[in-house]
A and B are shown apart, each in its own frame.
Chain A
């Protein structure tokens, strides 16, 4: 006698217990603390905060622990938590020119006011496995220069003084889209596109940005400036009417400077691509800046032919929480639909066989 498959509940419960056990791993190895993740896996924490669009190092570290180090899963956890948070205020735009920069480099000028500050970077390291880290390594002493008081004018502002780069015209009255509250709408304006890219999957943006460098919508980019460090967050409470600081966040900003050939009404000049991410996330910020510039093809009157220039393609596929969910939903049962196809294929095959028999008989 056949009994319809029951016991879904029990199976789920057991699977989740097993997950908890596997997450913990060998009990002989000390458990990883959230604090350890926060301090020692800080770049993973930064990525999860950026794509999870929630600036909270502790929760991001917790999400990484809970997700067994699967960052896309951790991002998903953080996003799902973010949904439940109330919105108290909307901050004023951060001013990255006043950043207390820990790193600041420009590829367009050998030296510039404020200097080139390397900061903590993988750049110029030799990628050799450091077996000393297998043991508990000691940290070498660092000679630190306090660069926080040195003025660091933006590279793009310097170009702007000469009139060589397009002006970023900000209309304070224009409504700013909010991707976390409203669905995407096309054509998508730049503020909406940048929001999408900021939350977008680093790997996806990297590939898209890379494709522009390989001829799929080339925009002749230069890394005008990359800076990372702390900036102040300010809000203007209605009852006060003036801005107050509510804390600092650490961000990475990239401003790409790109060629533009000019048009009938405009002389040739440089254009901008912009990237911003929470924490130390240079690769993400640079890729974002490339893709931002590529997607400005429409407003700049350039021919749209490469994937990275196609805003609908990029914006609809950049979000890894959406993508991961939908790819993996194929694991869910589809037997009702499959039944429909099964019947159809069977009938068609039977009919074809009959036709063949009839033909053979004639």
Chain B
């Protein structure tokens, strides 16, 4: 798409250059202090708060003419909100967009990390609804900032203790808190805990934007990210008895799909690109073969 076809009357990527610079400063600070939530002057965007304004502002501030953008929601490129955000950037920047994880330089995501391992040079931008991992235990921002400053994180383990006492295991299945670089407790945004291990030592840069709460945080490439646990109850990820019905994958996060009103259901990869890629390479699940 040429520049002429982009939205008239608006700057490249919607935000003015001053605002983008302000956001990039916040991003740089966030990278310098991994896991620390940097307050920033979040702007109103033409999309509503809670629908990805933080991620959009981060993406808008770092996207350039040569970038290739991928946008996913729930792991998929074709969910309505992902379509809407991809359109927004296509209209305001005219950059190339893609659904292929390996072709993207910049990936904006809500609730997932792609299955295909990310590489050096790629940037993953998370949309974050509640950046504060301690929020459910302590509602006051003044108090949680103090807790971070003093690294007072005992109360987070109280919650995990309580889970084990009640359920015999840690019952947090998404937005599972992590310790970044051994210093800051951080919310990975509501990704399933299945994705947590991918954050550890990731070659790509991870940026987190929370628009309504006006916070940016980051994990620089190759940074230690540990999921909280107890010595005698180590962190574990979800496992399925089924494989993906379409591509047969046994190592991916599966969505459950109801296929009739008699309780019939099947499981398919949440990461649509990963699933298609596998099928293109000749991997099929129980229902995938018939489709081709």
Given contacts A8-B80, A335-B74, contact A344 B173 (CB under 8 A): yes
Interface pick from B39-47, B218-226, B227-235: B39-47
Proximity bits, A172-214, B CB within 8 Å = 1, else 0: 0000000011111111000000000000000000000000000
Chain A residues contacting B246 (CB-CB under 8 Å) are 2, 4
Once bound together, how far apart are the Cα atoms of A56 and B76, in whole Å? 41
Question: Which of A111-119, A239-247, A319-327 contacts its partner?
Answer: A319-327
Interface range, A side: 35 or more
- A321-B44 contact given A329-B51, A344-B173, CB 8 Å threshold: yes
Known A-B contacts A80-B46, A182-B41, A312-B140; the reply to A11 vs B174 at CB < 8 A is no
Could you say which residues of chain B place their CB within 8 Å of the CB of A187? 142
B214 in contact with A183 (CB, 8 Å): yes
B192 with A83: CB separation less than 8 A: no
Determine whether A27 belongs to the interface, using a CB cutoff of 8 Å to chain B.
no
The answer for the CA separation of A277 and B73 in the assembled complex, in Å, is 39
Question: Who on chain A is nearest to B111 by CB?
Answer: A336
Q: Are B49 and A340 in contact (CB under 8 A)?
A: no
Q: Which residues of B contact A348 (CB under 8 A)?
A: 167, 171
How far does the Cβ of A25 sit from chain B's closest Cβ, in whole Å? 24
The verdict on A80 contacting B44 (CB below 8 Å), with A322-B49, A337-B192, A341-B173 known, is yes
Shortest beta-carbon distance, B111 to chain A, in Å?
5
Docked CA distance A327–B43 (Å) = 18
Stretch at the interface among B61-69, B153-161, B177-185, B264-272: B264-272
B74:A333 contact, CB within 8 angstroms = yes
Contact present for A336 and B74 (CB under 8 Å)? yes
**Chain B positions 60 through 89: 1 when the CB is less than 8 Å from some CB of chain A, otherwise 0:** 000000000000011110111111100000
- Closest CB in chain B relative to A320 CB, distance in Å: 10
Bound CA–CA A49/B246 (angstroms): 52
CA distance A340 to B45 in the complex (A): 31
A334 to B73, alpha carbons, bound, how many Å? 9
Q: Which residues of B contact A9 (CB under 8 A)?
A: 78, 83
- Please tell me if A40 contacts chain B, counting CB pairs below 8 Å: no
Chain B residues whose C-beta falls within 8 Å of the C-beta of A336 in the assembled complex = 74-75, 111-112, 174, 190-192, 253, 255, 270
Residues of B contacting A321 in the complex (Cβ-Cβ under 8 angstroms): 44, 48-49
Pick from B80, B191, B272 the residue with the most CB of A within 10 Å: B80
Note all chain A residues with C-beta closer than 8 A to B208.
Answer: none
| Minimal Cβ-Cβ distance residue in A for B175 | A337
Is A332's CB under 8 angstroms from B255's CB?
no
Is residue B11 contacting chain A, with contact meaning CB distance below 8 A? yes
Distance, CA A327 to CA B51, complexed state (A): 10
Residues of A within 8 A of B10 (CB): 84
Determine if A340 and B193 form an interchain contact, defined as CB atoms under 8 angstroms apart: yes
Candidates B50, B254, B256; contact of A329 at CB < 8 Å: B50
Asked if A6 CB lies within 8 Å of chain B CBs, one says yes
Q: Is the CB of B142 within 8 A of A312?
A: yes
Would you call B174 and A340 a contact (CB within 8 A)?
Answer: yes
Residue pair B41, A181 in contact (C-beta under 8 Å): yes
Q: Is the interface of B mostly helix, strand, loop or mixed?
A: loop
Contacts of A5 in B (CB 8 A): 78
Indicate if A125 sits at the interface (CB-CB under 8 A): no
Task: Please give, as numbers and ranges, the residues of chain B lying within 8 Å of A339 by CB-CB distance.
Answer: 192, 253-256, 270
Given contacts A316-B141, A328-B50, A333-B74, contact A12 B44 (CB under 8 A): no
* A183→B78 contact, CB < 8 A: no
Residues of B within 8 Å of A342, CB to CB, are 256
List chain A residues, Cβ under 8 A from B78. Answer: 4-9
Asked whether B41 lies within 8 Å of A324 as measured between CB atoms, the reply is no
Cross-chain contact A332 with B44 (CB below 8 angstroms)? no
**Is A267 positioned at the interface, with any CB of B under 8 Å from its CB?**
no
Chain A contacts for B40, CB-based, 8 A: 183
Residue B102 is within 8 A (CB to CB) of chain A in the complex: no
- In Å, the complex CA distance between A351 and B215 comes to 40
Q: Residue A24 at the B interface, CB < 8 A?
A: no
Most buried by A among B44, B129, B266: B44
Assuming A340-B238, A344-B171, is B79 touching A8 (CB within 8 A)?
A: yes
Task: Tell me, in angstroms, the Cα distance from A325 to B210 when the chains sit together.
Answer: 13
What is the minimal beta-carbon distance from B237 to any residue of chain A, in angstroms?
10
Q: Bound complex: CA of A248 vs CA of B27, how far in Å?
A: 40
Q: How far is the CA of A79 from the CA of B53 in the complex (A)?
A: 13
B170 to chain A, nearest CB (A): 10
Judge if A167 is at the interface, Cβ distance under 8 Å. Answer: no
Q: Cα distance A116–B74 when bound, in Å?
A: 61
Closest to B53 in A: A325
What B residues does A185 contact at CB under 8 A?
Answer: 39
Task: Indicate whether B14 reaches chain A with its CB closer than 8 angstroms.
Answer: yes
Is the CB of A86 closer than 8 A to any CB of chain B? yes
On chain B, the residues within 8 Å of A335 by CB distance are 74, 255-256
Report yes or no: A326 in contact with B50, Cβ–Cβ below 8 A. Answer: yes
Whether A183 contacts B42 by the Cβ 8 Å rule is yes
Chain B 7-46: CB-based contact to A (< 8 A → 1; otherwise 0): 0001100111001001000000000000000011111111
Most B CB contacts (10 A, CB to CB) among A1, A332, A336 go to A336
Contacts of A184 in B (CB 8 A): 214
Counting from the closest, the 4 A-B pairs by CB-CB distance are A325-B49, A329-B50, A340-B173, A325-B48
Q: Could you pull out 10 A-B pairs where Cβ atoms are within 8 angstroms? A: A1-B287, A5-B78, A83-B15, A181-B22, A182-B39, A325-B49, A326-B212, A327-B50, A334-B190, A342-B256
Q: Which residues of B contact A (CB under 8 A)?
A: 10-11, 14-16, 19, 22, 39-46, 48-51, 53, 73-76, 78-84, 110-112, 129, 140-142, 167-168, 171, 173-175, 190-194, 212, 214-215, 238, 245-246, 253-257, 259, 266, 268, 270, 272, 287, 290-291
Given A1-B287, A84-B11; 20 other pairs, CB 8 A cutoff: A1-B290, A2-B257, A2-B259, A2-B268, A4-B257, A12-B83, A80-B44, A83-B45, A183-B39, A183-B42, A183-B214, A312-B142, A316-B141, A324-B48, A329-B50, A333-B73, A336-B192, A339-B255, A343-B238, A348-B171
